[in-house]
Amino acid sequence: MVAKGAIGRLRFYRMSVRGSGRQHNLGEISTMKMRWLAIGYMAVCSVFTGIQSAAAQEKGHLYAHRGGAFEFEENTLEAFRGSYAKGLRGFETDVRMTKDGVLVVLHDDSLDRTHNSTGPVEHKTAAELRSVATKGKGQPMLFLDELLDYLADKPVYLELEMKTSNKNLYPDERLEEYCRKLHAAATSRQPEGAVYLMTSFDQRPLKLIKSFDPEADLLLITGGPCSKEIVEQALQLGINRIGCRMEGSSRASVREAQKAGLRVNGWPGHTLQDYHLAVGLGVDGICTDIPVAIQTWITNNQQAAP
């Protein structure tokens, strides 16, 4: 279900106009300019509904965070199916490993918030998780193989976030097994025309994957804005993608990162305002929790264009 009111949240976005000595209300004087900017941006980036090639989405693409965390139960097969049915061709999800070495989809360090169970999936076997369901609709725990099966004939953009920052759950000796299994699953199951990449806040898995696959497509996530520091870290790791908080990032910092050869993704995307901020910053990828609402806004405004 689309988050109510999400499409109508861009109303009184304010900006200062240099040299004018006063503030102007963007909702009053340049709503149309913002609309045309967004439409033009997305047209150039080729991410409107119906585009099937993930390669065509590589610049400025919109993708569904946890399948669309504010519109569906996050990280469920229903979320990915629902967003795909509405025209989304980009997705992000979170990958963990069970006690017996099976890859599953879950964001948190424990099941407590989202499922009818408690504790880390890392302390449970795959068989135990087969009986675990979401708190909302009682949907089954999603295993990575099931998600990859669903996407097997779909040339989409897919980010697989490696949730390994908790060293108690992922000590170095367990990390290699996790990385090799995820890398094998992603590279062997990626359909033609798709873009699959592994991402993380934790530099350990990124370094480890680079050690056995120097050409791996990886993305370094930061909890802060786009900056020289994160650009330098990515370049030192041999990684050409970064994910930065849009709040605090500037258009100049994004451009500098892009000049250095990096693709810059922006997050979080909770509202339509966040989407417009991403457009203004000129990021390469736009991560959002309301993908259906944003896609609907794009489609409606595209259709309204003469």
pLDDT of residue 14 exceeding 50: no
Tell me the mean pLDDT in the region 44-60.
Answer: 47
Report the chain's mean pLDDT, rounded to a whole number.
86
pLDDT band of residue 51 (cuts 50, 70, 90) is: very low
* Per-residue pLDDT, 19: 34
Tell me the mean pLDDT in the region 15-23.
Answer: 33
Domain annotation for the chain: domains and CATH numbers: 10-304 (3.20.20.190)
| DSSP codes, the chain | -PPTTGGG--S--EEEPTTTSSEEEHHHH-HHHHHHHHHHHHHHHT-STT---GGGGTTTEEEEETTTTTTSSTTSHHHHHHHHHTT--EEEEEEEE-TTS-EEE-SSSSSTTTBSS-S-GGGS-HHHHTT-BBTTT-PBPPBHHHHHHHTTT---EEEEEE----TTTS-HHHHHHHHHHHHHHHHHHPPTT-EEEEEES-HHHHHHHHHH-TT--EEEEEEEES-HHHHHHHHHHT--EEEEESTT--HHHHHHHHHTT-EEEEE---SHHHHHHHHHHT-SEEEES-HHHHHHHHHHHHHH--
The per-residue pLDDT for range 290-300, each reduced to its tens digit, is: 999 999 999 89
Lowest mean pLDDT, pick from 33-42, 78-87, 246-255, 296-305:
33-42
* Per-residue pLDDT, 38: 57
Q: Record the tokens describing residue 300, joined without a space.
A: 């409606």
pLDDT of residue 4 exceeding 90: no
pLDDT of residue 125 exceeding 70: yes
The per-residue pLDDT for range 85-96, each reduced to its tens digit, is: 999 999 999 999
